Amino acid sequence: MSIEDEYLFEEYEHRNDAESARKKFEGQKYLDPKCDPAFRALFDSEDALVSFLNAILHLDGENAIQSLTYTVQQEEILRLPEPYRVKFDIGARTKAGKRIDVEMQQLKLNDYVDRMMVYNAFLLLRAKNDYNKEIDFRNLPDAQKKKYRYKLPEIYSIWIMDYPVQFMENVYRDEVGLYSQSSTGKEDCVPISAKNKYIIVDLTKFDKPKDKLETDEDRWLYILKNAGSSISLPEFDNPTFEDALRRIECDLASDELLIKQANMKDFLYAYSDAIDESYEKGVEIGIEKERTDSEKKKDDAIKALLVQKVAPDVIAKAYGIPVEEVLRIKEK
């Protein structure tokens, strides 16, 4: 979730009744992994997370992640000077030193690109701080400090979006990096730094049927998009996938997970309804303002013609309005 969502959810009235939470998912095979609690449960094992990250980052062979440590719902606090915090859905660190943030974003809110950048900034600062501790930067000789003062480890910000991403027209997966303006659009265009990447997935554009799943990336994205609404899923014949799905199977889920999922779903429904209502009201206000502005411009133009002694019937014919309306403006 976003920074704002977290505060709102914390203030939201939560239920603690396991029985009613379990009833909420009767007849459903799996909890919806697009919802934060089930998303975190799905990847709450090293095997599942390694498999997913290698798939989504397109890492294989010598470049593949072999092992990692991770934290579910990892909180970061920065003082600016007031405390400013974010919570990563999943924060991971590989044995090779890569730092990774994985976010599931279900609510469509404004400024989501800015939000990605804020989270990425937290990830970058945490990664740099950890790296400096690893090399004992404070106690390095001055010559070595100059060499490592700005050296960064690789970081990846992975965002799974359950709504259309505007800048992704015909693809469901995209990579965003730091590019020079002079190189963009060229066939050999490469980022000026490969150490900081955004991997963005638009689930609304992922439409592969279950009989066309060829890669682990296909399989994980299919699960994320369809598990919450499917009576059954394909047989993946892979213990990593099977174990991950068992963690979000409704009949096997713990009371704690079911309660968290139920609370989050109730919150998302209420919040989405509020956003829709606010959006519709905003549209109405915008239309009314646009209409008012347009009418004012028309009235001003008619007044100018009347000052120039243009006949009211001529003006009425030109604007396609009754003569009485022109005369009303004239009387004003």
Q: In what order do the strands lie in the sheet with 68-79?
A: 68-79, 83-94, 99-105, 155-161, 193-202, 173-178
pTM recorded for the entire structure: 0.77
Q: Would you say 43 and 244 are in contact if contact means Cβ atoms under 8 Å apart?
A: yes
Q: Would you say 35 and 268 are in contact if contact means Cβ atoms under 8 Å apart?
A: yes
Classify the C-alpha dihedral 75-201-130-244 as positive or negative.
Answer: positive
What is the residue extent of each domain of the chain? 28-249, 283-331
In this prediction, residue 5 carries a pLDDT of: 52
What is the DSSP secondary-structure string of 27-80?
T-SB--TTSHHHHHHHT-SHHHHHHHHHHHTT--GGGS---EEEEEEEEEEEES
Strands 193-202 and 173-178: antiparallel
In this prediction, residue 218 carries a pLDDT of: 97
In this prediction, residue 184 carries a pLDDT of: 85
| Residue 325: closest CA among 297, 296, 299 | 299
Adjacent-strand bridge partners of 176: 198
Question: What is the phi/psi pair of residue 214, to 5°?
Answer: -110, -30
In this prediction, residue 286 carries a pLDDT of: 52
CA distance 152 to 317: 71
In this prediction, residue 15 carries a pLDDT of: 65
In this prediction, residue 293 carries a pLDDT of: 60
Residue 268: how many other CB atoms lie within 10 Å: 19
What is the DSSP secondary-structure string of 215-281?
SHHHHHHHHHHHTTT-S-------HHHHHHHHHTBTTTS-HHHHHHHHHHHHHHHHHHHHHHHHHHH
In this prediction, residue 3 carries a pLDDT of: 43
Alpha carbon distances (Å) from 164 to 120, 206, 249, 331: 21, 11, 28, 52
- The tokens for 271 are 């919040």
- Which residue numbers in the chain have pLDDT < 70? 1-15, 109, 271-294, 297, 318
Burial 200-222, CB ≥16 within 10 A → b, else e: bbbbebbeeeeeebeebbebbbb
Q: What is the DSSP letter of 138?
A: G
**Mapping DSSP to helix (H, G, I), strand (E, B) and coil, where does residue 88 land?**
strand
Residue 288: how many other CB atoms lie within 10 Å: 10
CA distance 202 to 299: 47
**Mapping DSSP to helix (H, G, I), strand (E, B) and coil, where does residue 6 land?**
helix
